[in-house]
Amino acid sequence: MPGTPSARYAYLGPEGTFTEAALRTLPAATHAELVPAASVGVALDLVRRGEVHAAMVAMENSVEGAVSQTLDELASGDPLVITREVLLPVEFALLVRPGTGLAQVGTVASHPHAQPQVRRWLAANLPRSAWQPASSNAEAARLVARGEVDAALAGEFAAARYGLVVAARQIHDTPGAVTRFVLVARPAPAPPPTGADKTSLVAFLAADHTGALLEILTEFAVRGVNLTRIESRPTGRGLGRYSFSVDAEGHVLDPRLGEALMGLRRICADVRFLGSYPRADGEVPAVRPGTSDEQFRDAQAWLAQVREQGTG
């Protein structure tokens, strides 16, 4: 259905957000209906209720870190799975109404995540301006259009949508910053392995067990599975109680990852699978000696023979 006229995708709106830009990089989105949602939670609930095929949401940013709301929404409620990831360079522009000069900018609005990424630029170029939070960068642009603030920090692509112009480009403090978005759908078998895949999951620690994180990492390490992301999140049951949100190299159908997942399942209070999907960077993971698919298959055949015949 994706790619057909009837396909529907949700994203964190309003129109003009980086999330919409990420969604538009997908060929399947070209002819689809794109549905802005008021929050990550709303976007994911549209998926859960079957009102859209999938939703694009931000997962992490190379400067600001994890998007807690996305992690928490994926970790609770009805299960969802990630089927794609998209990496997008973060390139903030300062958007103003036509005719506004930098000297006239007294107030600047943006999503709170954006502010720390442009702090130094603002200090150097708009030292006297006041910052105001908005619920999204596109909403900030909308506030500019309505005259409620003087300028918005947003993607350049938002200017046309809100009748604004670009007063300054590429104003983020850290060059090369990247945001990672994921496309989230209802549970279904993962797309087939490509050889360069990631698997996301949430591991809930069993009780209040010191050393539990070390045990979790060991389950991965023993099977030669590398992690590309690990975030602790509070479980809401008190300080010091965590779950861990993890991205692992490999696909749920890989034997090494399958065995590691079973190990987690046994030692954790709960494990929530969040999908296997192709890596956006296409990087093929190095496989440690002793953990290749072929060695897993050989070992399984050997064990079967030992069990049946008493020798391998």
What are phi and psi for residue 219, nearest 5 degrees?
-60, -40
Q: Does 48 engage in binding with its own copies (CB under 8 A)? A: no
Angle at 83 between CA 261 and CA 51, to 5 degrees: 120
Q: Does 25 engage in binding with its own copies (CB under 8 A)? A: no
Q: Does 254 engage in binding with its own copies (CB under 8 A)? A: no
Q: Does 228 engage in binding with its own copies (CB under 8 A)? A: yes
Which part of the chain contacts its own copies (CB under 8 A), choosing from 4-12, 43-51, 149-157, 216-224?
216-224
Distance CA(37)–CA(221), nearest Å, equals: 39
Tokens 């949602």 sit at which residue?
Answer: 37
Taking alpha carbons only, the member of 307, 230, 211, 292 closest to residue 257 is 292
Q: Does 296 engage in binding with its own copies (CB under 8 A)? A: yes
Shortest distance (Å) from residue 120 CB to its own copies: 11
Residue 160: count other Cβ atoms within 10 Å of its Cβ: 10
Task: Give 103 or 214: the residue with its C-beta nearer to its own copies.
Answer: 214
DSSP state of 170: -
Tell me the per-residue interface mask from 101 to 140 with its own copies, x by CB under 8 A, - otherwise: -----------x---x--x-----------xxxxx-----
- Strand 165-168 with 92-96, pairing: antiparallel
> What radius of gyration do the chain's Cα atoms show?
23
Q: Any idea how long the chain is?
A: 312
Distance CA(246)–CA(75), nearest Å, equals: 11
Tell me the per-residue interface mask from 170 to 189 with its own copies, x by CB under 8 A, - otherwise: ----x-xxx-x------xxx
* 139 SS3 class: helix
Site for its own copies in 49-108 (CB under 8 A): 60-66, 68-69, 72, 79, 81, 87
Site for its own copies in 265-284 (CB under 8 A): 265-267, 271-273, 275
Task: Give 95 or 246: the residue with its C-beta nearer to its own copies.
Answer: 246
Shortest distance (Å) from residue 154 CB to its own copies: 16
Task: Give 85 or 167: the residue with its C-beta nearer to its own copies.
Answer: 85
